[in-house]
């Protein structure tokens, strides 16, 4: 069986200016899709456009539903929506402030919620929405208390919206640790964490953004997959 082609399909990647989102945008474009990249940062969009000259770009603030709605008015009809934009808080429970916790929910949960609600009327038949959660939804991590709660909420949202928005397909990708620039910091502490994780999981390494992108392409092309959370964690949950 051959999966439906992405050639000439219009794919909107919110958060597509860097990291996993950018890898998805590149993979989709390589598959012949018409790609639109949206992000809050105009500078990052310009840099992304230099790497992917054929893609259109648009600025959006995912924490503002009006901004998200305006994005779809500009982009118009699409076939698939991918949303990866997020603020991730890596702080212990008693160190994170209420403002930081609210900001994280506004970015990752409400941002994806707004995107799905605004996208629904613009997605063509056999189209899809792919959210991003993370394995902290099911694997407790002291430094990811808020992020884990957000990821669990996103996974629940994806299952409910698969019923609510049918025949639009709604799924979520739940990555483990991925080697992206977001894991770099001045002290190099996060790089050390990645190396420690790599030693502790069956795959023996963390994921590359391009590998997660292939999962996103599968979900766009697999017309019988909906209401599903797909783990790509190198066996982290099994370890």
Say whether the peptide bond before residue 167 is cis (omega within 30 degrees of 0): yes
Q: Are 92 and 135 in contact (CB under 8 A)?
A: no
Q: What is the pLDDT of residue 190?
A: 75
Higher pLDDT, 86 or 68: 68
For Cα atoms 68, 156, 71, give the angle at the middle one, nearest 5 degrees.
10
- For the stretch 197-234, pLDDT in tens is 899 999 999 999 999 999 999 999 999 999 999 999 99
- Residue 8 is predicted with a pLDDT of 92
Helix (H, G, I), strand (E, B) or coil at 184: coil
* pLDDT surpassing 70 at residue 103: yes
Distances (CA, A) of 202 to 150, 173, 205, 239: 26, 19, 8, 7
Report whether pLDDT(2) > 80.
Answer: no
> Of 234, 233, 230, 206, nearest to 218 (Cα)?
230
How confident is the model over 73-91, as a mean pLDDT? Answer: 91
Q: What is the mean pLDDT of residues 127-137?
A: 96
98: pLDDT strictly greater than 90: yes
- The most distant pair of C-alpha atoms in the chain lies apart, rounded to whole Å, by 52
Band (142; pLDDT cuts 50, 70, 90): confident
Token readout for 70 is 């305006």
Confidence of residue 15 (pLDDT cuts 50, 70, 90): very high
73 versus 47: which is more confidently predicted? 73
Q: Are 71 and 60 in contact (CB under 8 A)?
A: yes
Instruction: Specify which residues 231 forms β-bridges with.
Output: 174
Round to the nearest angstrom and report the end-to-end CA distance of the chain.
Answer: 33
- Sign of the Cα torsion 20, 114, 50, 171 reads positive
- pLDDT (0 to 100) of residue 60: 96
Please tell me the predicted confidence (pLDDT) of residue 185. 58
Domains of the chain in start order, with CATH, are 10-238 (3.40.50.720)
Q: What is the pLDDT of residue 1?
A: 56
> Considering only 73-77, 158-162, 175-179, 187-191, which range has the smallest mean pLDDT?
187-191
């Amino acid at each position: 069986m051959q999966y439906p082609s992405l050639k000439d399909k219009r794919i909107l990647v919110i958060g597509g200016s860097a990291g996993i989102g950018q890898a998805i945008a590149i993979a989709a474009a390589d598959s012949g899709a018409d790609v639109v990249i949206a992000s809050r940062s105009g500078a990052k969009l310009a840099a992304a456009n230099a790497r992917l000259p054929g893609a259109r770009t648009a600025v959006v603030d995912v924490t503002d539903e009006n901004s998200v709605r305006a994005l779809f008015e500009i982009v118009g009809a699409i076939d698939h929506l991918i949303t990866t934009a997020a603020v991730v808080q890596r702080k212990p429970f008693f160190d994170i402030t209420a403002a930081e916790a609210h900001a994280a929910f506004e970015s990752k949960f409400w941002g994806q919620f707004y995107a799905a609600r605004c996208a629904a009327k613009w997605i063509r038949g056999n189209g899809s929405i792919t959210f991003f959660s993370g394995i902290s939804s099911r694997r407790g991590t002291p430094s990811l208390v808020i992020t884990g709660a957000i990821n669990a909420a996103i996974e629940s949202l994806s299952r409910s919206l698969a019923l609510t928005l049918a025949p639009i397909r709604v799924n979520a990708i739940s990555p483990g640790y991925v080697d992206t620039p977001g894991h770099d910091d001045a002290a190099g502490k996060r790089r050390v964490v990645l190396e420690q994780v790599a030693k502790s999981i069956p795959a023996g390494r963390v994921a590359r953004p391009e590998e997660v992108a292939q999962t996103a392409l599968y979900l766009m092309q697999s017309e019988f997959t909906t209401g599903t959370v797909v783990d790509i964690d190198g066996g982290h949950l099994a370890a």
